[in-house]
Amino acid sequence: MTIRSIENLYRIRSDAASPPDAVNGPSNRDSRFSNLLSAMGGSGESTATAAERAAAHAELLRLRMMRDALSLQQDFREPEPYATGPALEYLVRRYEPSPETPPAAPEEPPIPDTYAVAEQPLRQPRGTEAKGPGLDDIIRRAARRYDMDPDLIRAVIKAESNFNPDAVSPVGAQGLMQLMPGTARDLGVTDSRDPEQNVMAGTRYLRRMLDRYNGDLDRALAAYNWGPGNVDRKSGRLPSETRSYLSRVKGFYADYAG
């Protein structure tokens, strides 16, 4: 109910109780309504009239409170956006704060390139590449028998067959120290794939080359790879394969002896 509704309600009730000549008097009706709202009771009034005045007063207070609340709500109402449609959408996208970006995860260390590592020459600690049962013992016995450094024997085996007793080269050399069939026969070898026979015969042949060239390791290794006849005739014109062989054997020798 509004204040005007309450006034009409009490105007009807007052008119019903008043003489006809007083109904049309606006000042008299206003005065009557104000008197009813301001008065909280009287000595000569009935109980019904007092209850109606109290109900009217309470309703008026409630309506005033609603009016004040609506006024406050109007005062604090958010202003309408000054742009609509595509312009508003653009402004929202442009100025709306973006969600907080989570902190970046710590950068992991790069994974090593295993293929690149595998392409490098593998240098193993001394004696670890002498594979097969008893191969280290065979090398030590051959070194003692022919007065050789066991590390030099290991270096030759590494360069020739990479410690594979079943290795066979394209030209027919066999075994750990890659003996040619004719050389193996001259040295009394019956099975070039037998580690004992192959290492003993190969060490004996290398000892011959060192003695032939007075301990010159380069010429002895070149003769072992290329043949002593070629070294004697063309020692200053070693093929690239033999030069690479010398470099590899001496590199392995330095690693094993180091």
Catalytic residues: 160
Decide: 169 and 111 in contact? Cβ < 8 Å.
no
Question: Which residues touch 169 (CB under 8 Å, ≥6 apart)?
Answer: 178
How far is it, in rounded angstroms, from Cα 154 to Cα 129? 8
Please, how many CA atoms are within 13 Å of residue 15, restricted to the half-sphere of its CB? 14
How far is it, in rounded angstroms, from Cα 257 to Cα 246? 16
Number of neighbours of residue 81 by Cβ within 10 angstroms: 10
How far is it, in rounded angstroms, from Cα 28 to Cα 215? 147
Question: Which residues touch 225 (CB under 8 Å, ≥6 apart)?
Answer: 241, 242, 245, 246
